[in-house]
Structure 1
């Protein structure tokens, strides 16, 4: 592949992920897909509707990823989350910080991107502060604490820390292990449909459709990055690489580090080494899609902070999300859907931390009322 062909492929991938992220932003805003909203509904109202929506998104993404892997459309070992190291403490602590932060900031990174598209200046402030905190945790002052105190607590495996790989090494049924994602996905959908059904058929199917579409967007992102973006030999390095991704590996949706990279790109726009990557394009696509939805619905409206206390709460939440999201290597979308769709062991720990942090913060805020 020539350099011109590689650049053309990269541009194609960036446009495609921009449009796919725009679709994701549109769907999330239309169906009120929000993880912190799902957890708060369950804690305060005992309403599990949006939790089911989240579970359906996970199940569909899981089925999609496993099908792609079985059909040879992507190499599982080349994904961002396919590591032999399990940073269990980072996943747990980072997840808890992120979960508490998203409650204070009225939503996770993805939710605030969709709110920004609808005219929320509160979301803009949250995203800027979260980007600074995330970048500091990637390469700055909080990165030192992360590496020294959290990342050092790890488990090393002989295979990638993915459930199918672990099962393949521990059982004599390799076919079962490679198809574990299909079984988990189907079981999760059946569980959602069977336990404590939602009232009202229209509401039930409308909510579930939102989860299906979000899951399909994540699966499509895996295919786009892992199949269409595969370059066997980079024209300059002659090494295998995946076009447009920041890591050079297969990536899907995640919205913490990419928001930091977006701010970095905007601040150093004239620096030729700063280029638009997969994550930056997905961030811009999310805002674009939610903006289009707001115009379509006719509910675009500028929104600001109610008072200084509201501002302080959102600033604290943004900081916690930036630090926690990088420490846990993902957010409610990155770990909560993308990583768990490939049955990453770290994602199970990170999700437990996110839910724990969110529930504790919700309980704390309720006790102060």
Structure 2
């Protein structure tokens, strides 16, 4: 085990945190790229009743995060009761509205915040532009022009921190119940994986992405427990780090080192290495002005929605969901609903119309 007290004494909290963020970011970026980890793709498979490879990867990552975190808690390696997702006052209205908006934006940009970063490292210019717009919208929602609207929506329906935000406590099942829940979904993920086939990277990447979330909680908790300074425990998220890096680049390059400082660029590097290994590097751009407008609108909705919901698909979905925070689960449900409805109305409807038109013209090859 790492001697965190010695590391902090020698290097200081900031360097230890950023180094941990960098290593965990590499693991997440590489795993997510190789497994094609993506909430949007999983949602589309779910709502189309396919239960295939994309859904199995997401479930494998989610269940791995749940099982690993519950084992760490039961083994007394971490205590996450003071994590902001559980201890601070939360917004139920923000979680619901933010989740829905994020889900809509996720379909419009064809990827969640983490997926945009992963694809940017593979040469996808659509994802790169969308990621930049997402960062601007997140920062504007945090402390800029959109902050008053975010604060207003968040104030509509709040819940106090503590037991009122802990789903395991509210259900009366404790962490053993959380572990059982994770194991059940892990079995489901493995069944879906076996049925859908795919490469070994699907298994390893999904597990690696989930373990990254658990490692982030363990690492930041360990630093906080051994530090005389106030250190915030956290998992992996991309809304806050994106806003932080935007400010570093634009106006505050001397901001102190944080876990997020190491995380974001390392996810990019890890994805690049995964794409290079898998020969997935490819320069891609927009087809037309309509698609560019769609991506920009979606990125704005995701940035605002993530700040409302308390995190992105990874920040709320995996990081908050794996510790059974009430608001994170509401946000995650909102993402699934918003994405499913938007895909049905926008992309699924367009695909059906194109197929019908091709069939009417007698040219089956025109159907997508």
Shorter-chain TM range is: 0.7 to 0.9
Find the partner of 1:60 among 61, 64, 71: 64
Supply the distance in 2 between the matched residues of 1:29 and 1:267 (Cα, whole angstroms).
Answer: 28
Following superposition, the deviation at residue 179 of structure 1 comes to 2.1
Answer 1 or 2: which has greater helix percent.
2
Matched, 1:340 2:321: yes
1:256 matched to which residue of 2? 239
Find the partner of 1:322 among 291, 295, 303: 303
Supply the distance in 2 between the matched residues of 1:301 and 1:81 (Cα, whole angstroms).
Answer: 38
Asked whether the equivalents of residues 57 and 214 of structure 1 are also in contact (C-alpha less than 8 Å), the reply is yes
Supply the distance in 1 between the matched residues of 2:190 and 2:284 (Cα, whole angstroms).
Answer: 37
Asked whether the equivalents of residues 100 and 337 of structure 2 are also in contact (C-alpha less than 8 Å), the reply is yes
Q: Which runs of 5+ in 2 are unaligned?
A: 354-368
Matched, 1:309 2:290: yes
1:199 matched to which residue of 2? 195
Following superposition, the deviation at residue 252 of structure 1 comes to 0.7
Q: TM-score, normalised on structure 2?
A: 0.86
Supply the distance in 1 between the matched residues of 2:279 and 2:190 (Cα, whole angstroms).
Answer: 33
1:132-147 map, 5 Å: 132-147=136-151
Supply the distance in 2 between the matched residues of 1:321 and 1:15 (Cα, whole angstroms).
Answer: 28
Q: Which runs of 5+ in 1 are unaligned?
A: 169-175, 235-240, 243-248
Matched, 1:184 2:181: yes
Q: TM-score, normalised on structure 1?
A: 0.86
Q: 1:299 to 1:16 in 2, by over 3 A?
A: same
Supply the distance in 1 between the matched residues of 2:176 and 2:213 (Cα, whole angstroms).
Answer: 19
Q: 1:124 to 1:204 in 2, by over 3 A?
A: closer
Supply the distance in 1 between the matched residues of 2:115 and 2:90 (Cα, whole angstroms).
Answer: 28
Find the partner of 1:27 among 14, 28, 31: 31
Supply the distance in 1 between the matched residues of 2:256 and 2:317 (Cα, whole angstroms).
Answer: 27
1:1-369 map, 5 Å: 5=9, 7-44=11-48, 46-83=50-87, 85-156=89-160, 159=163, 161-168=165-172, 176-193=173-190, 198-199=194-195, 202-203=197-198, 206-234=201-229, 241-242=230-231, 249-270=232-253, 272=254, 274-365=255-346, 366-368=348-350, 369=353
The Cα RMSD (Å) is 2.4
Supply the distance in 2 between the matched residues of 1:5 and 1:21 (Cα, whole angstroms).
Answer: 24
1:167-187 CA-partner distances (Å, limit 9, x unpaired)? 45xxxxxxx523222121112
Following superposition, the deviation at residue 189 of structure 1 comes to 1.9
- Residues 75-84 or 309-318, more deviating: 75-84
Supply the distance in 2 between the matched residues of 1:335 and 1:124 (Cα, whole angstroms).
Answer: 22
Q: Any idea what SS the aligned residue of 1:179 has?
A: helix
2:361 matched to which residue of 1? none
Asked whether the equivalents of residues 46 and 55 of structure 2 are also in contact (C-alpha less than 8 Å), the reply is yes
Supply the distance in 2 between the matched residues of 1:4 and 1:156 (Cα, whole angstroms).
Answer: 33
Q: Any idea what SS the aligned residue of 1:82 has?
A: helix
Following superposition, the deviation at residue 224 of structure 1 comes to 0.9
Q: 1:153 to 1:192 in 2, by over 3 A?
A: same
